[in-house]
Structure 1
Amino acid sequence: MTSLTIARPDDWHLHLRDGAMMRAVLPHTAQHFARAIIMPNLVPPVVTGDQARAYRDRVLAALPDGLAFEPLMTLYLTEDTDPDDVAAAHASGLIKAVKLYPAGATTNSASGVANFDIVRATLERMAEIGLPLCVHGEVTDADIDIFDREAVFIDRVLDPIRRATPGLRVVMEHITTSNAVDYARAQDDSLGATITTHHLVINRNHILAGGIKPHYYCLPVAKREEHRLALRAAATSGEARFFLGTDSAPHTDANKLLPCGCAGCFTAPNTMAILAQVFEQDAALDRLEAFTSRNGPAFYGLPVNSDTITLTKSAPDYPAHIDTEDGPVTVFDPGFDLEWSVR
């Protein structure tokens, strides 16, 4: 196969940041993706409907002429979140999900939830109105090894939340373990799971073996090879519960290369080229459209995009980094030559 046309994809987990960074990275998503779930972990975070509306307006104002893109807004769940404000923002069509960050789990998550009993009323209201909860699934306990934090979160936090809140729709974001794959497969259709591009490509050896690779450092951190293979099997399976959420997370090189560098991989420019190659390697190109373009809309109750993109068997041309007013941002390098391009 040398050409593949699919419904235009969506990204169900995206960091655009704000200001100069947003203006620089947004076009790289909008070139390929019709819609994206926009993460709310700005400084300060997007916690109210009014703030989400203002952020959406800034995103649209930054969109270059000639590109069609719909930002799907979210609210950042805090222990002070007002259930009525959440419900009103959802009823107006403004927000499509609420994001749960355990306090301290990742970049700009200091305002996240430490006591889940305090947010019970918000979760119950979300279950009533069918508003999904997007979950960064890691515990933050200092005594839990970083490679075990996703599995522990499922047992200690996620499963109890779901049992205590029947009907709550949940997206397990950027899953990284076979434990998460197995848990997702054992649930009903009220639970979905996103998988990133980079977690299909790298394991923890890629970060650490032969020297530290800061541009491969992300949270949740990549795990053992057995977990990467489980993610690839899930993504390429065509199963409706698994869909693409790139977690594309731009940081300037200056912030990535610090003694305590930022977590995140910037994959927006080359995600589709990488995915085409991954799916081809796994003899699953016929299931690429399900993962990138169909399963996500089905979970969120949205139509599949009517326009299409075409991937062709030719070496892509994308930059090693992009320039922003704040400094260069390195594009994720999969570690192998890419053979597919988006036309």
Structure 2
Amino acid sequence: MKTMITIASRQVWPQVICVKKIAPQKIYLLHSRNEEESHGPALRLSEFMTKNHLCADVYLHEAPDNDPLCFAKTFEALLSGIKNSDEVTVNITGGNKLMTISMYNQAVKKRMKIVYLERNKELFYFLPPDYLENPKKEDMDTSITNDLDPLELLKCQLGGSYVNNDGECLVLSNEGKMQNLEEINVKLAKSVSFADANIPYENYLVRTDGERVRREEGKTARFGSHMEYIVAFVLLKLGIPRVYRGAMLAPLNLHGAIEGELDLVFNHRGRLWLVDCKDKKKSSEGINEIRRSMIQSIETGGILAKTIYVRTKLIPDNVNAYAKSRGVETVYKNNLFNGLKEILMR
């Protein structure tokens, strides 16, 4: 039986990617007593793995995060319950440094296979007898995670907040699958804003809950709603399986409080992507707003999260340069399809 031993931490994406790659039939998920950094993420990961059929047998196992000798005894006790015939992989990607070093040392003593996922999506294999002297490296195909639901991933990643409202899960309708994007590009190029483009997105999109996508008009129209639907449509045409619109976040332990709304969320190539849409005719954005978006992106989607700004008007050059230097992508109305396509292909 393929078995994985790994350590839970706040960043859940590396665990998800490794599990998708190695496909273990059983997982032992080590965690400390620290609720925010380890135990809470372990509970969420366990639920996510089983709910999304990544692994049916996930076992949580408490381990110390500040005592290498005690960790060694815990690891030894864990191994005593694993069959010798099992094919065991030790994943040292998660956990604090002391736990990671301790587990690496114990795995080397037992001559076990070790893996580590680097942030740039390189998977390292440390194998006996050479281990660090001759590691093997593999560039990960992170598209293996594209089928996972982005909102479920978001719920798994969130620690200090929770999803108060799922919003809408959007996919292409039959008419949307047939629609030529060139016609959309022409309408956007001729319009002043997304709202003026007169694109019948309500015919191109359907909600997965069976409800119709309704066009917001007049006094009931929320500013930017046309833009969000059109951007979602283009993302779906570019191959994204599903896009969530309008998910609401709320802080834990603050009843009735709303932390914020996410315009669009999707999952692509091992990352959660947050799309911020503003259909303003004038741009007044500054570096502080970019910085706030970056902080929200990391807090919401983890260190591997990416933010895309979709705008009608150009933002100032110095602000755009700052955004680029911090990994925030910017796409404009008149280059929506090609701009998004270029980002997704990187």
Pick the structure with more helix per residue.
2
- TM-score, normalization by structure 1: 0.28
- TM-score, normalization by structure 2: 0.27
Report which of the two structures shows the higher radius of gyration computed on alpha carbons: 2
